[in-house]
Structure 1
């Protein structure tokens, strides 16, 4: 399944490269806009591949007790940061992306920063749960989304680099926006499934005698442990 997604992405990328070449040659914005739906599909398929903090996003939504609407804002913040950071790196030619064999397009420093910040959020969630506090900061979820999205999208980097090399950076930015929409759709589905899982789990646990407060505490502590575990793993494999 994952290999099929990678193969599909490769086909789309080749097609996108051809359309960007055509746009660089004749400057037809109509031709570019016609390929934008492909960018949405491209982004959605890319978000299904490993990475994109889907597990951490699902864990946070499950344990934080945020509503679906707030969860979708979290996923949107993650998607926007993930794509926009790659665009900025390409446009500003920031030297934060690795070009080592086997890790091209990665930004190890940003990955470590992202996971480190999420680890701190996890520790905060555990402390809050043990203290019995249920109040969440107004923009906590969006902040978590930004932290999780601090890893730049490698495919957006490739598209932007290609567009800049062809002298059409704006075309790359427009296509990147389409890819962001696709990533947001996939992550939004992840949020919806996490909310359903949380609701279903609460119903089952309540039938076995657990009260709502205890369930919330356990879920939040579990989420905190997952976030801390991701941070520890990032530094161990770095």
Structure 2
């Protein structure tokens, strides 16, 4: 990953606009998404807990990519032009962002728990309600990738802000594709369990309990993430 980031920075500094840079940015984004701690398990648990559909997986991947791009852009601009580095170090800023992400994950879990509690009273389709997707997407993209951040800041310093922003957007697209694929796998597995539940009592119980367990797991994970970030800040 570090070598890809170095190559992206070299591409920013070169006078031409090599198409290879966009391929590298996409691969770097996909690689960032598959590393531990970037919301894959939460995305899968959310889609199971909310009985998600393919379009929900697309919304989730897209929201993570959009939030990641916005966080990189806002922090990069503040770091370059507003002397944010004089106010707070990158390590402390990352911890504050992780704290905010943890709170958003708790909010997502609480929303899922509330949804499960009322599910037996409301059997109609709730898939048009997407606050959980937006909350989880925001939490997953809130902490920017160091590689994407360095690419944008380098581009701003060298006067190639437009090119750098396109690379960051491509980076986010790579993340979105991976998370969308994870979502499809989660939905496919959930569908298999639900279909088998019609004929197997054990699978029927699993299909009933899985959404509740997913909601509880997301809430506990958010609480843990928040606690770790708070301890580090103290």
Alignment correspondent of 1:138: 129
Aligned partner (choices 168, 178, 181) of residue 186 of structure 1: 178
Alignment correspondent of 2:7: 15
Alignment correspondent of 1:228: 219
Task: Output the CA distance in 2 between the equivalents of 1:235 and 1:223.
Answer: 18
Are 2:105 and 1:118 equivalent residues in the alignment?
yes
Aligned partner (choices 123, 141, 149) of residue 149 of structure 1: 141
Cα offset, 1:217, TM superposition:
4.5
Change (3 A) 1:130 1:206: same
Cα shift readout 1:123-162 (whole Å, capped 9, x = no counterpart): 2322331332455353335413234322222221121122
Contact 1:62 1:223 in 2 (8 A): yes
Aligned partner (choices 143, 163, 166) of residue 174 of structure 1: 166
Alignment correspondent of 2:37: 51
TM-score where L is the length of structure 2: 0.82
Contact 1:119 1:231 in 2 (8 A): yes
Cα shift readout 1:10-47 (whole Å, capped 9, x = no counterpart): 22122112111113xxxx3xx24442122111211221
Moved over 3 A (4+): 94-100, 203-207, 214-217
Are 2:72 and 1:86 equivalent residues in the alignment?
yes
Aligned partner (choices 78, 81, 89) of residue 99 of structure 1: 89
RMSD: 2.6
Cα shift readout 1:57-94 (whole Å, capped 9, x = no counterpart): 11101111121122111111112212221122102337
Contact 1:129 1:217 in 2 (8 A): no
Q: Please list every run of 5 or more consecutive structure 1 residues that lacks an aligned counterpart in the other structure.
A: 1-8
Q: Report the 3-state secondary structure (helix = DSSP H, G, I; strand = E; otherwise coil) of the residue aligned with 1:138.
A: coil
Tell me the number of residue pairs that the alignment of Structure 1 and Structure 2 aligns. Answer: 220
TM-score where L is the length of structure 1: 0.81
